């Protein structure tokens, strides 16, 4: 299955899809610094293009024969961290939908923050998808149940042409893990610490976390411990015995592999990493798509206990 990744950033979504067996053949974005990281790790076409321009993007995408358009339009206008008023960036969700509806690939995967599901921009995009005859599977996934040691909730809208809504839910639900993944389960003792500092949004929340739980959401900024940190009743150990995670450690919690190549200053890198779809979350969604596709193409029964192995043979 061939795909392109719109708003590809540094390539978290692209890498996860690739690991699921989907052949990502191009990435597009307009942030030069992020694209330079993408190019260090992905050896296919990379286009620096303003994706708000639907006609130009249509012409660029139409050069490729693809089965799937993936993309996570930027989310600041919906995110908990950003301002709550929908703005220009929210319109990129609609631009994404319009591009999908003009190209009409068999599949699309759209990712965004969980609250985007209730936005006006998404309601408009949803109408565009439905009018183009896509059946939609809409779900908020907690990454810690999808192979990522991080409590990060993200909304996915997965579309396939001429399907019923909710068509992928059974496969997705059957693949979710029974319990959330902890940092220790994912990285063992690689970090060389048992607890760490993560700056809270406000001091009503704790700031000290254990590696025996999933990390809270990795955001696009990573603040040091402020001198005046007052402590919190739920901090398991004193704050003077912990440190914040480094930028590269945070990339590991986003499930980027250790050998992923990076460049940029610290502020940029924190943003690249916080913006990204966790690689294993993208892989999880990609595998669900591949299972559904294999089911359709070679008639595998999704209740088959050896399904994963048989899919691997298919891929």
Q: Which residues bind ligand SAM (CB under 6 A)?
A: 7-13, 29-31, 34, 50-52, 72, 74-75, 92, 275-277
Q: What are phi and psi of 19, to 5 degrees?
A: -65, -20
The residue behind tokens 């914040």 is 244
Cβ atoms of 146 and 20 within 8 Å: the answer is no
Among 8, 75, 146, 288, which one carries the catalytic annotation?
A: 75
Cβ neighbours, 10 Å, residue 241? 12
Residue 303 Cβ, how far from ligand SAM at the closest point, in Å? Answer: 32
Residue (31 or 122) nearer to ligand SAM, CB: 31
* Residues sharing a CB contact under 8 Å with residue 174, sequence separation 6 or more, in sequence order: 302
Residue 56 Cβ, how far from ligand SAM at the closest point, in Å? Answer: 10
The residue behind tokens 């509806």 is 101
Residue 95 Cβ, how far from ligand SAM at the closest point, in Å? Answer: 8
Residue (8 or 136) nearer to ligand SAM, CB: 8
Give the 3-state secondary structure of residue 39.
helix
Measured distance CA(173)–CA(288) in Å, rounded: 10
Residue (27 or 214) nearer to ligand SAM, CB: 27
Residue (112 or 137) nearer to ligand SAM, CB: 112
Cβ atoms of 112 and 138 within 8 Å: the answer is no
Give the residue from 108, 114, 115 showing the smallest Cα distance to 136: 108
Give the residue from 309, 251, 254, 261 showing the smallest Cα distance to 280: 254
Residue (15 or 171) nearer to ligand SAM, CB: 15
Give the residue from 159, 116, 156, 155 showing the smallest Cα distance to 136: 159
Measured distance CA(185)–CA(213) in Å, rounded: 9
Residue (93 or 275) nearer to ligand SAM, CB: 275
Residue 1 Cβ, how far from ligand SAM at the closest point, in Å? Answer: 18
Residue 250 Cβ, how far from ligand SAM at the closest point, in Å? Answer: 14
The residue behind tokens 């999908």 is 100
Residue 190 Cβ, how far from ligand SAM at the closest point, in Å? Answer: 22
- 8 catalytic? Reply is no
Strand partners, 135: 160
By annotation, the residues acting in catalysis are 75
């Amino acid at each position: 299955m061939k795909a392109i990744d719109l708003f590809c950033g540094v390539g978290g979504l692209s890498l996860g899809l690739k690991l699921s067996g989907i052949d990502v053949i191009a990435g597009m974005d307009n942030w030069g610094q992020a694209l330079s990281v993408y190019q260090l790790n992905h050896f296919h076409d990379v286009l620096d293009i303003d994706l708000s321009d639907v006609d130009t993007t249509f012409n660029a995408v139409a050069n490729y024969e693809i089965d799937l358009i993936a993309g996570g339009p930027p989310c600041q206008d919906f995110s908990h961290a950003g301002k709550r008023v929908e703005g220009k960036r929210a319109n990129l969700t609609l631009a994404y939908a319009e591009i999908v509806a003009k190209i009409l690939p068999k599949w699309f995967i759209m990712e965004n923050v969980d609250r985007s599901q209730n936005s006006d921009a998404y309601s408009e995009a949803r109408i565009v998808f439905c009018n183009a005859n896509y059946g939609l599977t809409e779900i908020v996934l907690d990454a810690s149940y999808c192979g990522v040691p991080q409590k990060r909730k993200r909304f996915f809208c997965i579309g396939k042409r001429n399907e019923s809504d909710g068509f992928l839910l059974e496969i997705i639900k059957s693949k979710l893990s029974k319990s959330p993944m902890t940092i220790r389960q994912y990285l063992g003792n690689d970090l060389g610490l048992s607890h760490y500092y993560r700056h809270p949004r406000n001091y009503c929340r704790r700031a000290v976390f254990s590696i025996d739980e999933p990390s809270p959401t990795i955001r696009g900024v990573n603040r040091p411990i402020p001198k005046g940190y007052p402590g919190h009743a739920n901090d398991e150990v004193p704050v003077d015995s912990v440190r914040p995670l480094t930028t590269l450690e945070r990339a590991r919690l986003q499930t980027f592999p250790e050998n992923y190549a990076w460049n940029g200053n610290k502020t940029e890198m924190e943003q690249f990493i916080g913006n990204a779809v966790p690689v294993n979350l993208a892989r999880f969604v990609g595998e669900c798509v591949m299972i559904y596709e294999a089911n359709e193409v070679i008639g595998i029964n999704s209740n088959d206990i050896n399904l994963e192995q048989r899919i691997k043979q298919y891929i």
